[in-house]
C-alpha cells in the first residue's frame, strides 16, 4: 500500500531553474530607484479592470501571502508568496520540496529587454523616452544592484543577473563587477547578439 501523506521521493532534491521575481509596478521606484518611475507610472495608469494583476496590483502593500500548499502551488504572479520579497523564498522552497532555485528577473529587467532590443518602438513603451537603449542600460544596472542585495539570502536562492553592454568588453566588465559582489548566474539578452556579437564569435 502506498502512503499518500508521505512526501515525494524527490522532495528536497529538486532544482527549480525557472523561478522569477515578480515585483508589481507599485514597488519599482522603491526597489530600483527613480530610473524606474516612468515605466512604473505607465503600467499603473494602463492597468485594465480585467487585468489579472501581472504588472500592476493596486492596493498591494507587501509580500504577505501565507506560505502553505494552498498558495505555493496555485498562487501566481506578484501576489504569490516570495514574489516580491526574495527573503521568503527558502520558506517557499521548503513548502514545495525544492532544494534550490535560480531566481530570474521579470519586472523592470523584462521591460528593459524590450526597450533595448526594439529601439524603434514596441507597443506600451512607445513615446516613453527619447533614448530607449540608454534607459534600458540604466534599468539593467538598477535591477542588478537590487539583486546584489539578495545574493546572501541562502545558497538555495541564486539571483540571476543581466549581462548588458554594447560591446563584448562591456559585457565582461559587468560580469567581473557582479562576480566580485557575489553573482553566480547570468542571463544574456536574446533579442539580438549580446554586445553586438554572436556568443560563438571568437
What is the DSSP track for 102-149? EEE--HHHHHHHHHHH-TT--GGGTTS-S-HHHHHHHHHHHHHHHHHT
d(CA 105, CA 81): 16
pLDDT cut 70: percent of the chain above it: 93
Residue 1 has pLDDT above 50, yes or no: no
Statement: residue 197 has pLDDT above 70: yes
* pLDDT of 4 over the 70 cut: no
CA distance 49 to 84: 22
pLDDT band with cut points at 50, 70 and 90 for residue 2:
very low
Average pLDDT over all residues of the chain: 89
pLDDT in tens, 149-196: 999 999 999 999 999 998 999 999 999 999 999 999 999 988 888 888
- Whole-model pTM: value is 0.90
Asked if the model's pLDDT at residue 19 lies above 70, the reply is yes
Amino acid at each position: 500500500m502506498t502512503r499518500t501523506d508521505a512526501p515525494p521521493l524527490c522532495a528536497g532534491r529538486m532544482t527549480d531553474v525557472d523561478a522569477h521575481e515578480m515585483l508589481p509596478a507599485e514597488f519599482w521606484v522603491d526597489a530600483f530607484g527613480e530610473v524606474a518611475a516612468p515605466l512604473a507610472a505607465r503600467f499603473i495608469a494602463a492597468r485594465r479592470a480585467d487585468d489579472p494583476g501581472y504588472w500592476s496590483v493596486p492596493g498591494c502593500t507587501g509580500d504577505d501571502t501565507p506560505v502553505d500548499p494552498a498558495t505555493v502551488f496555485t498562487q501566481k504572479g506578484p501576489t504569490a508568496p516570495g514574489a516580491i520579497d526574495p527573503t521568503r523564498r527558502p520558506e517557499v522552497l521548503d513548502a514545495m520540496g525544492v532544494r534550490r532555485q535560480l531566481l530570474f528577473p521579470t519586472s523592470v529587467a523584462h521591460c528593459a529587454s524590450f526597450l533595448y532590443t526594439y529601439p524603434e518602438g514596441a507597443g506600451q513603451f512607445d513615446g516613453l523616452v527619447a533614448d530607449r537603449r540608454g534607459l534600458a542600460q540604466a534599468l539593467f544596472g538598477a535591477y542588478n544592484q537590487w539583486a546584489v542585495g539578495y545574493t546572501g539570502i541562502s545558497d538555495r536562492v541564486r539571483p540571476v543577473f543581466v549581462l548588458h553592454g554594447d560591446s563584448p568588453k562591456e559585457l565582461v566588465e559587468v560580469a567581473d563587477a557582479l562576480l566580485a559582489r557575489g553573482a553566480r548566474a547570468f542571463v544574456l539578452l536574446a533579442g539580438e547578439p549580446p554586445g553586438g556579437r554572436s556568443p560563438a564569435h571568437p
